[in-house]
Every structure is written in structure tokens, then in C-alpha cells.
Amino acid sequence: MHAIAEGLFTEETPPRLVGGRHRQTGRIVFPCPAGSDYEPYPLRRQGTLWSFTIQRYRPKSPPYAGSDSFEPWPVAYVELPDETIVESRLANVAFDAITIGMPLELIQIPFERSGAEPVLVHAFQPISQPSGQPTGVSA
């Protein structure tokens, strides 16, 4: 399976998101803008939940290219310390367990598209506790 967009992730394992650092000011953004003002910059893999909402209705299609079956998902803004804030899906956490400030880590998840092979997109999940159980998820 390949990423939904070229240059979205680094080639290392585990992968990181590729942001952009402004060559003159050092400002970091995501995603990396095209053009010569920004250079690719690998972002941190861990951050904290800055804000979120639950996407409870199927987005318009196009541009939404999801599968025909729709299930609500959490959409978050994840603050990567000293870098930027990234919009992302949240994964592996119950809606009622999501809390502002919770520690999160980057993962890749498959995104199924109608009539096409799935692609990898970025998401964040709660950082696992020593027991291996993600934070905020009950057994």
C-alpha cells in the first residue's frame, strides 16, 4: 500500500510526516508547500491533542473519495512541540475518552476509496501505557 500523496511521509521506520520549514524565517508548516521558499522538514512523531471534533456526516463527494460505507471519525488538531499544529484523524480511541492535552503518536492507517485500492493516510493515536493499552481505551 502506498501513501495518499507523494512526499507525505519520510522513508524511515517508523515514518514521520514531512512538513516544510521556511528558508528565511524558519517557520514550520504542514504539509510542505511547493516552491523554493520551503525545504522539507521531518516532523516529530509525538504531540498533544490541541482540539478536536467528531465528523458525523459523510463529506461531499467529490472531493471526498471515501468508501460507500461511512462511519463517524474524530478529527483533531495535534500540537507538535516547537513545530506546528497538524490536522489529522484520531484512531484507536473511543469518542468519550478523547481529552484535550492527551499525548498522541503518529501512525499510518488505510483509507478505503470507492472503486480504488486503499492508500495510507496519517492519523494519531493515544500513546500506549506500559501495559500496551492505549490511553483512554477501556478493556
Q: Which residues of 39-61 are buried (b: 16+ CB within 10 A; e: fewer)?
A: eebbbbbebebbebeeeeeeeee
In-domain check, residue 10: no
In-domain check, residue 139: no
pLDDT exceeding 70 applies to what percent of the chain? 83
Question: What total of structural domains would you count in the chain?
Answer: 1
Count CA atoms closer than 13 A to 61's CA, side-chain side.
Answer: 11
In-domain check, residue 84: yes
pTM of the model: 0.84
In-domain check, residue 138: no
Binning pLDDT at 50, 70 and 90, where does residue 128 land? confident
| CATH code: domain of residue 77 | 2.40.50
Domain that holds residue 52: 44-126
Quickly count: other Cβ atoms within 10 Å of residue 5's Cβ. Answer: 13
In-domain check, residue 81: yes
In-domain check, residue 37: no
In-domain check, residue 8: no
Per-residue pLDDT of 11-48, as tens digits, reads 999 999 999 999 999 999 999 999 889 999 999 999 99
In-domain check, residue 134: no
Nearest to 50 by CA among 92, 10, 101, 16: 101
